[in-house]
Amino acid sequence: AVCSMGNSTSRLYSVLAKTLSSGAVSQHQDCLEQLDSAQLDPIDPKELLEQCQIVLQKRPPRFQRNFVNLKKSTASNHRPIRVMQWNILAQALGEGKDNFVQCPMEALKWEERKCLILEEILAYKPDILCLQEVDHYFDTFEPLLSRLGYQCTFFPKPWSPCLDVEHNNGPDGCAMFFLKERFELVSSANIRLTAMKLKTNQVAIAQTLKCHETGRLFCIAVTHLKARTGWERFRSAQGCDLLQNLKNITQGAKIPLIVCGDFNAEPTEEVYREFSNSSLNLNSAYKLLSPDGQSEPPYTTWKIRPSGECRHTLDYIWYSQHALNVTSALGLLTEEQIGPNRLPSFNYPSDHLSLVCDFSFNQDPDRLL
């Protein structure tokens, strides 16, 4: 079989423009196995954004969110590192299990929802992108983002709930993407989290990168902890396991660290306190948006299910506060923007908000704790 991706930008958009059925997915995956992404033509992000907007022309425009400057003038001559954290909502769960009673099924159609997701990513242009609930990695995110210059890594859950949904697209998991022009991969670890010495269904990816401009090393990690009320001790154990892994990878905080994730835990939970009080000296970046710099946002997810309305703060970007500065962070959507039917919606593709921060290195590379 010949797998032709075409010879101009218009050919690429066959990947974007059509929804892949489960049959088409396996066919497309065969194609991907034959083609090294490095051999494929690069994509102009502006053209891809335009293509997304054509698909979305009948939908309301994107919500406008503004960056908040958090650090006054810095002496750094280097561009900040932009990190984006987002639980994008697995397609199989959105359509088959999550039961968003106020969200029309029409709003969840993959051929349009994927363009909303891509539009958000392209709008903020992250240097590093950390995603959870990715169940369209091989047919959408890897082929497109690799051609935008990202190096891509995916680690699926061992027993993904997506597999219980008819016509699913495979398991969901965590995915990490970084721009190869900005960073070099030094080491990578796929971590299956344990709790009470038992292997669990939750995972993490941790990669040590070297920044080309500064020569500095840092570690970036992405995770998605166990969901639901009643599993607080389980999440706490998973958090302890992840922290121990990260201590080993960062040589006890010698290498700066950024951890992105849907922790499924409010700031009142034990796992949040473990990260706050860790010897890795981590701070939560989005606390810096509060007037006193000590309070998390009022919500990072807002949805309506049959059991009622759920408004929670579950998503975080943690960072080594001794080695990194947060220079700016993307403001959250207001209640008015989100609207009475909450998320997801025709305006916004996920039940979780994306978090985006700009980081710079402290000028003294030898200064630790």
CATH number of the domain within which 103 lies: 3.60.10.10
State how far Cα 6 lies from the chain centre: 30
Does some domain include residue 327? yes
Q: 352: which DSSP letter? A: B
Confidence of residue 279 (pLDDT cuts 50, 70, 90): very high
Structure tokens at 193: 């989290």
Contact 280, 257 (CB under 8 A): yes
Does some domain include residue 42? no
- Please indicate whether residue 75 or residue 123 has the higher confidence score (pLDDT): 123
Does some domain include residue 229? yes
Taking residues 77-85, report their average pLDDT.
Answer: 94
Type of residue numbered 369: L
d(CA 87, CA 227): 13
- In total, the chain counts a number of residues equal to 369
Structure tokens at 83: 């990190």
Does some domain include residue 74? no
Question: Quick one: what percent of the chain has pLDDT higher than 90?
Answer: 80
- Please list the alpha-helical segments (H only) found in 293-345: 335-338
How many CB atoms are closer than 10 A to CB 181?
9
How many CB atoms are closer than 10 A to CB 252?
13
Contact 211, 248 (CB under 8 A): no
Residue 105 in 3-state DSSP? helix
d(CA 156, CA 262): 15
Q: Classify strands 183-195 and 198-211 as parallel, antiparallel or unpaired.
A: antiparallel
- Nearest residue to 308 via CA among 264, 342, 332: 342
Indicate if the pLDDT at residue 356 is higher than 70. yes
Determine the pLDDT at residue 265. 98
Structure tokens at 165: 């949904």
Does some domain include residue 19? no
d(CA 120, CA 109): 17
Does some domain include residue 78? no
Which residue range forms the structural domain that includes residue 224? 85-364
Question: Quick one: what percent of the chain has pLDDT higher than 70?
Answer: 86
Does some domain include residue 116? yes
Confidence of residue 34 (pLDDT cuts 50, 70, 90): very low
Does some domain include residue 164? yes
- Nearest residue to 17 via CA among 125, 109, 81, 83: 109
Contact 125, 152 (CB under 8 A): no
pLDDT, mean over the chain: 89
- Nearest residue to 85 via CA among 328, 261, 242: 261
Indicate if the pLDDT at residue 19 is higher than 60. no
d(CA 17, CA 3): 17
Type of residue numbered 42: P
pLDDT tens readout for residues 138-197:
999 999 999 999 999 999 999 999 999 999 999 999 999 999 999 999 999 999 999 989
Number of domains the chain contains: 1
Helix (H) or strand (E) holding 63: none
Helix (H) or strand (E) holding 1: none
Share of the chain residues as helix, strand and coil, in percent rounded to the nearest 5? 30, 30, 40
